[in-house]
Amino acid sequence: MSRAFSFKRVAQPLTGRKVLWGIALLAMSTALNAQSTSWHLVVKSDDGQVTFYADSTSLTIHDALRTVRLLYDYAQTQQNPDTLERHLSTIELASIDCKGRRIAPVQSTNYTGHKGAGAVVSKSVNVPKEQLRYVTAAADSLDEKVVSYVCEIGDSSRGKQG
């Protein structure tokens, strides 16, 4: 003999604790999503003190200009001489001029841990496009290797789109 059971769901009011847990979970998932970037190795300095990575998924292309997120991961703690704040990594939004072989910082955030982990130590404001200060990448420099990498991935992604 089988019986059919009927359950009637009654909505339970959200308690303060449930709301706080929901907010905490949302905040953690947002933070984890922000850090779940796929970093690709670009170059490591000859002395091993800094490793450069690029987030190719963040790449935007406008003519010869590229905008991309870069990660500078330091082997040893860096210290800002003005504020004395210490950090082990920097994530920077950079503008790269492939035609002029130049690079300019748009915005940067320094972190206490490696690869953008840990607490935010400092964060700069976004520099407006017309106020960017480009630096020409010297031949065989780390900047030149970063510019070449970003311009090449931009060219290859352009080929895939077209």
Residue 115, pLDDT score = 97
**CATH of region 38-161, choose from 2.30.300.10, 2.40.128.710, 1.10.599.10, 2.60.40.1250:** 2.40.128.710
What pTM does this model have?
Answer: 0.74
Question: Given a cut of 50, is residue 88 above it in pLDDT?
Answer: yes
- Residues 6 or more apart whose CB falls under 8 angstroms from that of 10 comprise none
Question: Given a cut of 50, is residue 24 above it in pLDDT?
Answer: no
For residues 92 and 90, give the distance between their C-alpha atoms in angstroms, rounded to a whole number.
6
Residue 106, pLDDT score = 98
Residue 27, pLDDT score = 41
Domain boundaries, the chain: 38-161
Question: Given a cut of 90, is residue 62 above it in pLDDT?
Answer: yes
Nearest partner of 54 among 159, 149, 157, 152, judged by Cα: 149
Question: Given a cut of 80, is residue 91 above it in pLDDT?
Answer: yes
Residue 153, pLDDT score = 85
Question: Given a cut of 60, is residue 63 above it in pLDDT?
Answer: yes
Reported confidence tier of residue 156, pLDDT bands at 50, 70, 90: low
